[in-house]
Amino acid sequence: MTQSTSDPAGLLRGIPLFADCDDGELAQIAALTRPRHADDGTVLVTEGEPGTDFYVIVDGRAAVSVGGEVVADLESGSFFGEMALLDGGERVATVTAVGPLELLTLARDDFNRMLEVAMPAVAPKLLNVVGRRVRDQERREGRGTPFGI
């Protein structure tokens, strides 16, 4: 069942990343988001390109590939695009819609505002996911963990 992006605060409430946000924080974050629809096969971000947006999947699925190899599937409630916004680097993966996809997006400045608004509620979950993704990438490349730890 396709969810509408007409109530961003309600949608964000159901996303694990934002589960600890209060109603005021959700309203502020929702005001920063833009809805986006993607058709099957749409490439949302491309490995090696600069990152400009953060994405939250409202409904649908996306495939994550690195070096042309699919390494993960993302579903409703998942997010992506945070790494390039956090460190200013290039995208580390390509993300492609698998079927129709409904998203909420935040541009770089809005992503930073979101972190200011909801830092205590969002930061620990965001950092947990980023850490897990970095470790997974290091394992795929056979380099072990960063800094030899």
Model pLDDT for residues 106-127, shown as the tens digit of each residue: 999 998 888 888 777 787 777 7
Kindly report, residue by residue over 131-147, the tens digit of the pLDDT. 777 777 777 777 655 54
Please tell me what DSSP assigns to residue 136: H
**Phi and psi angles of residue 132, each rounded to the nearest 5 degrees, phi first:** -65, -40
Q: pTM of the prediction?
A: 0.79
Confidence of residue 80 (pLDDT cuts 50, 70, 90): very high
In DSSP notation, 28-82 reads HHHHH-EEEEE-TT-EEE-TTSBP-EEEEEEEEEEEEEETTEEEEEE-TT-EE-H
Which two structure tokens, joined as six digits, stand for 3? 């969810």
C-alpha torsion sign, points 66, 98, 103, 19: negative
Q: What count of Cα atoms within 13 Å lies in the side-chain half-sphere of residue 85?
A: 23
pLDDT at 142: 72
Please give the residue that has the higher pLDDT: either 27 or 37.
37
Contact (Cβ atoms closer than 8 angstroms) between residue 108 and residue 88:
no
Domains, the chain, ordered by start: 8-141 (2.60.120.10)
Amino acid identity at 85: L
| Structure confidence by residue, pLDDT tens digits, 41-61 | 999 999 999 999 999 999 999
**Which phi and psi angles does 133 have, rounded to 5°?**
-70, -40
Mean model confidence pLDDT for the chain: 85
